[in-house]
């Protein structure tokens, strides 16, 4: 089976990264996690990556760069040197520059803990709960210049229960994320996709 190299960008716990690494190591997801970049020095995701033996694991400090473009150029250099095909955002809580988005156009994927286009932004779970929706979920999408605005690759739905709080709902959503993200990456590598305006159609064009 063809494998493709990916770079994963993280800021936090890294449980999605762990799910991708596990799926890859079990032969269920044909990706090679070659690079992990964090913008946070204390992100537990860094340890997960090192423990899994990822080749290049880096904390790149935003404070060392004069602006967002300069920071993103440094990240892009690492990703290009490692010849990664896809850039996978897994809890990466930093807005990407236009430079980065256009440089890797249609090669950056994100997972968001809400059913887009509803509840974009930093607290998708809390916003959905506060709104009173009865179903919630997660979305895997391509990244464009609009925050959480790119074409949708896959979605999964969970119920919202009467006694949910932010954490319980997020947990239920994350259980779906751990399946959906590796599955979607597999599909991208194995089937490819074409884009028709905003619609993704699976299969080689
Ligand atoms: C995930 O639930 C992901 O959907 C969310 O952050 C969490 C990261 O968890 N991403 C966003 O909210 C992006 N807007 P993890 O670090 O344990 O994978």
Under 8 Å between Cβ of 137 and 158 = yes
170 is catalytic: no
> How far does residue 189's CA lie from ligand 1's centre (Å)?
22
Quick one: DSSP state of residue 160?
P
* Ligand 1 pocket test, candidate residues 91, 120, 147, 175, most atoms within 8 A of CB: 91
Angstrom distance (rounded) from CA 61 to CA 47: 17
CATH 3.40.50.170 domain residues, the chain = 1-104, 111-205
- If you take atom 13 of ligand 1, which residue's CA is the nearest one? 112
> How far does residue 12's CA lie from ligand 1's centre (Å)?
8
Q: With bands split at pLDDT 50, 70 and 90, how would you rate the model's confidence at 7?
A: very high
Angstrom distance (rounded) from CA 116 to CA 77: 31
Nearest to 49 by CA among 83, 5, 76, 14: 14
- pTM score of the predicted model: 0.97
Residues with CB under 6 A from ligand 1: 12-16, 45, 90-91, 111-113, 124, 138, 174, 177
pLDDT of 124 strictly over 70: yes
Q: Hey, what CATH class is 1-104 in?
A: alpha beta
DSSP H/E element including 56: strand 56-59
> In the structure encoding, which two tokens stand for residue 1, read together?
């089976």
- Predicted local confidence at residue 205, as pLDDT: 61
Angstrom distance (rounded) from CA 180 to CA 184: 6
Q: With bands split at pLDDT 50, 70 and 90, how would you rate the model's confidence at 2?
A: confident
Q: With bands split at pLDDT 50, 70 and 90, how would you rate the model's confidence at 163?
A: very high
C-alpha distances out from residue 148 to 107, 109, 162, Å: 15, 10, 27
Q: With bands split at pLDDT 50, 70 and 90, how would you rate the model's confidence at 191?
A: very high
Can you tell me which residue has the tokens 């990706």?
31
Q: With bands split at pLDDT 50, 70 and 90, how would you rate the model's confidence at 204?
A: confident
Find the catalytic residue in 3, 103, 112, 141.
Answer: 112
Nearest-atom index, ligand 1, CA of 11: 16
Q: Does domain 111-205 have CATH number 3.40.50.720?
A: no
């Amino acid at each position: 089976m063809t494998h493709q190299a990916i770079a994963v960008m993280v800021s936090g716990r890294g449980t999605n990264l762990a799910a991708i690494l596990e799926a890859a190591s079990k032969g269920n997801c044909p990706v090679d996690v070659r690079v992990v970049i964090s913008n946070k020095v204390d992100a537990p995701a860094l340890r997960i990556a090192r423990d899994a033996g990822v080749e290049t694991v880096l904390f790149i400090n935003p404070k060392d760069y004069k602006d967002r473009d300069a920071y993103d150029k440094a990240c892009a250099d690492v990703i290009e040197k490692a010849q990664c095909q896809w850039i996978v955002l897994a809890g990466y809580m930093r807005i990407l520059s236009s430079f980065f988005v256009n440089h890797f156009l249609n090669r950056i994927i994100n997972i968001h803990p809400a059913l887009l286009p509803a509840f974009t932004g930093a607290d998708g779970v809390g916003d959905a709960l506060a709104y009173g929706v009865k179903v919630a979920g997660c979305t895997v999408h391509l990244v464009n210049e609009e925050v959480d605005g790119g074409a949708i690759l896959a979605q999964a739905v969970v119920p919202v229960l009467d006694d949910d709080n932010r954490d319980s709902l997020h947990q239920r959503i994350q259980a779906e994320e751990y399946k959906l993200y590796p599955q979607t990456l597999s599909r991208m590598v194995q089937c490819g996709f074409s884009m028709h305006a905003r619609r993704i159609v699976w299969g080689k064009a």
